[in-house]
Chains A and B, each alone.
Chain A
Amino acid sequence: MYILPINTRAKTTALKQPKELFTFNRDENGEFHYDPNHENINYYYFPNTKIDENIDLQSGFKNFKQIPIQDNLPNFKSFFKFLIEYEKENGKVSSDIVTFRGIMTRILSLPNNLSDPIDLYIVAYDGSLFVKLDDEMELKRQKDQDNRQRQTTSKEKYEFIKKCEYAGYKFETITTLKRPWADTSRSTIEKRNKKVVNNYEQFLSVIKTGIGKNKIVLIGEVDCCWNYVPDEKSKILSNYVELKTTRLIENNMQVVNFESKKLFKTWCQCFLMGITKIIYGFRDDNLILRNIEFYNTDEIPVMLKNNPLTHNSDKKVNCTNCLKWYGAVVDWLNDTINKQDETKSYKLKYDPNDRSFTVKEVSKERNEKLRNGELLSEEFKEWRQSLKNNNK
């Protein structure tokens, strides 16, 4: 077992500029497709004057097509299919770590979320560390939380919580288009309010990034783009937009909570993916959209730092601090785990009870399962094997 003290920080954080490798999507039936030409990306369109129309973000709640939690966990299988497609054209993607953005976000934001547990599996294969969630634990936690909410709150409150979740997807639906604005008819644009909301549809981007000396491949969902996807590959990520919703901010406490619970996490997500544009929709207690604000990702650390309300407070969020922690973790994982040893797999665990951050070898059984379907797919192993053979 290897332990990393929670207060470890990297000395410096040299960050690599993230670059997109390829993209794929999940359609409204939950099926994944390779999409290198960005055909399924959404386009942001919501003019300033429309905000004054007081759109109800809970309308259509009854028709919400929601994907079951168990089907919504990060999925390596489909990713590998498309990675193979990509590598066929462009050669092997070499990286120290390959994982999902959501997973990295948890690690990055840990110093600010010391009470949230983390449970991950790490499999070393073909020179990279593949990291996935402990799906069982994850599912259990989510279900437990749901049950708790159902039991401890009133029916209305519980429904309200669900509606708030829905409101997030609703916001995405009314502010985006499936095709560029010029190719979309007026009636399509104006009828978005009536459109059935579903969270099956997703657009995912696979990017290459890095911190310190470590190279990282991340897979993350992208909500939409700002008008177009640039032809120049290096500029693509900077035109993506992250959409979020939150409650109107009307007093000091709400500001502080917003910053630490929501804005910071959003920053982490976008920062990791190289997404530079963030749009927040503000809704009131009746779930009516009342305000929209736009932020550049790199504005946020400065805003957080300069907030007078959190001077000398333990609630203050320090992004640089988290980055240094993140750098330390990545360094540590790379130094600790032997990538060449493909007979073992590991569990990375953060336990909020004793604030321990540990990596432990898993059982032989578990290792077998992980390497044969649970994480690595047969298809992928065959492919990588064939590459090795060809190189000999």
Chain B
Amino acid sequence: MGVPALFRWLSRKYPKIISPVIEEDQYEIGGPKYDDANPNGEIDNLYLDMNGIVHPCSHPEHKRAPETEDEMFLDIFTYTDRVLMMARPRKVLMIAVDGVAPRAKMNQQRARRFRSAQDAKIKQDAIDAEIREKELRGEIINDAIKGKKQWDSNAITPGTPFMDRLAEALRYWIAYKLSNDPGWASLQVIISDATVPGEGEHKLMSFIRSQRSDPQYDPNTKHCIYGLDADLIFLGLATHEPHFRVLREDVFAQQSKRMTIRDQVAMTQEADELIQERDKKKPFLWLHVNILREYLAVELFNPQIPFSFDLERSIDDWVFICFFAGNDFLPHLPSLDVRDNGIDILVNCWKNCLPTFKDYVTCDGKLNLDSVEKLMAALAVKEDQIFKNRHVAEQRREERNKQRKIAEEQDKALKSVYLSQVSKGKEKAPLAPDINMPLMDTKGKMVEGYAKLTNNEIVENTAIITKANLANADAAAALKKLIDSKKNPINKVQDQINNDSPTSESETSESEVPESESTEDVTKESPKKRKFEEVEEETDDIKLYEPGYQNRYYEIKFHCKSEDEIEKTRKDVVLHYLEGIAWVSLYYYQGCPSWKWYFPYHYAPFASDFTNLKDLVPDGIKFDLGEPFKPYEQLMSVLPADSRHTLPKVFHDLMISEDSDIIDFYPEEFKIDMNGKKMAWQGIPLLPFIDEKRLLDSVQAKYKLLTEDELNRNINKQAELFISPRNKNYNKFHEKLYKDNEKEVSFKYAKSGLAGTVLKYEKFQPESILRYPLKEGNMPNVKNNEYFQTYYNFPEKKTGKSMILNGHISAIPALTTADKNNLIYQLSKPSHMSRFTTADENREYINTGPAGKELFKCYSMRRGGYRSYMINLQNGGMPPVQPRNQSYRNPRSQTFNNAQYNNNRYNNQQNGARSGYLPPRK
């Protein structure tokens, strides 16, 4: 899902859910300690989606990339330290690194990695070009920068040596903190690294669910999850643990400059340090799921449904809708786009349909097909109009862009005539050509067919160029059409360009003539933006805004030839898509239903195709659990040939040799279907789907050739638990595992705030020493008797239920009646019209979790009770007796009345405290 898009949408609609993280300056001596009270309110459990830390530390966008792997790890330590000081979890810290993912996710991972390898090559070429350019001008470029090869971020995949070393570094760091930081004394640290199958965030979900199934679990546990992924917000809601918050960098606070190629090369020591410093201070924010729940309670309430309103079930439906609009496993429906208010549209459909349902759309992760069909039908009605509206908006945008460009050019032309100097000296020097619009080519060959203009040449010829602008735009469009045309196989086009010969098609020859001017548009923009970001409009043969689009869609995207074929395909795509949403729903609520299942198409069906679902799946949707892949099997499924260096040598041939049985899985070139989108990363790489059997056969055949070390990297393992000797369970674990030699020790929640089973970790010997694993940095070895390490199993898996647990005490409500009214009012306006709220505007809010520890606060204050009566008595006067009929028919008014009565009032009773109706304040 487009993360910034979703996040922006959420903060517009529900302005009070974000607040800034308060950090006391920790770089001063005598600064805040871990065991100090947390100025942001206390937190029990912190969950780290480690990929959200590893990625930005290993290939940062806003500062210089680390020189060595060790430097990366040290960066990771520093960053994690900072996050920990913000959250200061008191009971549990769980660190999850993505392990082998379910097959459904692998397709997206594959797409990303293939594209990233390509981008990396382009970037490297760009850097090389930049260096050459500077050297041509006589500049000396630092050898370090010259020799530096771009780090392959595809190494962040389970099974690579990098992940191994990361695991080692993390374990060291945890042991170090447990033995050194007094604030970590009772902290229980769980590591589920890349050797444990499952995506990071879902491993965290599984953990939370497993703890909830222990009857001793504290229903008022205060959770916090760190990560930038929008999914985390939905995961938080799906746990039905109301005291939940998401911690993330505030990407909108400081619009720091993205590092361009030029910047990377030109970086001086000073500038580098300045950026590092600023990076240390970049602000973070909290996203309070409890407040989001308050908003949703208002938004989703519906008194007209034939079954009883249940907030938890409604939230589940809402989450279902959100990931319908964008998830990692399925392409989203053409009519739904987060940027286009897709979620709002579908939520409105849901609200309108709800009275016609027999039950909510989801139930603890299972789909009610009848409700799904009704919901899709409601969306289908809107589909035509959505496409039309989109087209109109597109055209308007294009018009505006055109006008803007014309204005810009005229402006520049004027300037060049009336002002002698246009730019700083450097740009006047003769230069080697800049790279222009690159073709998507995994080999990274520079496409020679496109001539390059120097900036100077462009500037001098601006007047001419301006006049010829329109013609050029056409030519450029034609050229683009050729490139991205869906009708021509990509290879044919590649050949054309590689051979640098005009084709028979007149369009190409036309474009060849004013070749210098044709690329002008893009070049102009390049100094300002990243070159490979914005791609211009491609031709659209499907024309969603014109009737008959369904057939055209199936013809073009799915290569259907006849009506029959279209019908068959449509049914099949819908069947698989339905399975897909059932799969995703179960994945969120119950855990992965099948490791093998995946969606076998690149495109989604239309909402109007979702008819007769009962006939489509008469026996309901069933999944075969299967098993996760082993690490090398996963690597072979997601990596392009260029990243084969992360795999043992024996596999390399499989990816590059003509004789390989599975060479077709690793195409050198592949088409990217922009599918109507603007940004390059939104396009769909049309990679072939991997045939599991063929892949496994080929890969497993090579196992006997692996070394022992390599074999060890190919095993899926278990999570581990680290505690300090001061933990309440230490003695029991130590004795039973190491003295009594028991295989495992089960423990329940009440003692330390964690439940599960520990097993002996053979390599951990309490007498020995853990050596500092890195070459850089200056950290000490850790004695093993200063910490304790075991394998850790979650408590036995039980079916999750979307319910609030007994004993739960709500937080003090953060929304005022005015806020709620605003929301209801906003619901009638489109979201993008609302103002974007910054976190800072909510800086007064501190999330203190439950409104108290007194169990009577589990229940809202209502009329007719003994305590409530006495409290009212204390405050002078009885409220009027509530007419009975009204409250029966309209539970909403009762809830709203209760809103005035609820925990807020319990906490504000000064008199009550003295009279004894409320326990005296401590």
Chain A residues within 8 Å of B, Cβ to Cβ: 43-49, 51-54, 180-183, 185-186, 189, 226-228, 230-231, 248-251, 255, 258-259, 263, 277, 280, 282, 284, 288, 290-296, 299, 302-303, 305-309
Contacts and interface: CB of A to CB of B under 8 A. Distances in A.
Interface of B: 212-217, 308, 310-311, 363-364, 748, 750, 798-799, 801, 803-808, 810, 854-856, 858-860, 862-870, 873, 878, 881, 884, 888, 891, 894-895, 915-917, 919
A49 B803 CA distance: 11
Nearest to B889: A54
A226 B806 contact: yes
Contacts of A227: 215-217, 806-807
A263 B867 CA distance: 12
A205 B343 CA distance: 55
26 contacts: A43-B806, A45-B806, A48-B804, A48-B810, A49-B804, A52-B891, A52-B895, A53-B891, A181-B803, A181-B806, A182-B798, A183-B798, A186-B363, A189-B803, A226-B806, A250-B869, A255-B869, A258-B866, A282-B864, A292-B859, A293-B866, A295-B867, A296-B919, A299-B919, A306-B916, A308-B915
A227 B859 CA distance: 16
Contacts of B364: 186
Contact of B884 (A183, A263, A284, A309): A284
A44 B804 CA distance: 13
B215 A181 contact: yes
B666 to A, nearest CB: 46
Contacts of B810: 48
A282 B865 contact: yes
A273 B858 CA distance: 24
A119 B863 CA distance: 40
List the 10 closest pairs (A to B, CB-CB), nearest first.
Answer: A248-B864, A228-B215, A302-B916, A182-B213, A180-B215, A294-B856, A293-B865, A291-B862, A306-B916, A291-B865
A231 B747 CA distance: 11
Given A182-B215, A309-B873, A44 B806 contact: yes
A231 B308 contact: no
A47 B624 CA distance: 35
Given A49-B311, A309-B873, A181 B805 contact: yes
B215 A294 contact: no
Contacts of A51: 859, 862
A249 B864 contact: yes
Given A227-B807, A282-B865, A290-B864, A303 B859 contact: no
A280 B748 CA distance: 30
Interface of A is mostly: mixed
B801 A250 contact: no
B46 to A, nearest CB: 24
A293 B806 contact: no
Contact of B807 (A49, A226, A248): A226
B864 A295 contact: no
Contacts of B862: 51, 290-291
Contacts of A303: 870, 915-917
Contacts of A290: 862-864
Contacts of B214: 182
A282 B861 CA distance: 12
Given A294-B856, A299-B919, A302-B916, A228 B807 contact: no
Contacts of A49: 310-311, 804
A164 to B, nearest CB: 16
A52 B894 contact: yes
Contact of A280 (B363, B807, B866, B917): B866
Contact of B865 (A44, A230, A249): A249
B916 A293 contact: no
Given A54-B891, A258-B866, A282-B865, 4 more contacts: A47-B804, A189-B801, A227-B806, A284-B884
A307 B917 CA distance: 9
A293 B859 contact: yes
B868 A293 contact: yes
A307 B870 CA distance: 8
A295 B856 contact: yes
Nearest to B212: A182
B891 A249 contact: no
Given A231-B748, A293-B865, A299-B916, A54 B888 contact: yes
A306 B915 contact: yes
A308 B799 CA distance: 50
Contacts of B884: 284
B866 A47 contact: no
A296 B855 contact: yes
Nearest to A281: B865
A48 B860 contact: yes
Contacts of A251: 878
B648 to A, nearest CB: 43
Nearest to A52: B891
Contacts of B858: 48, 294
A185 B869 contact: no
Contacts of A181: 215, 801, 803, 805-806
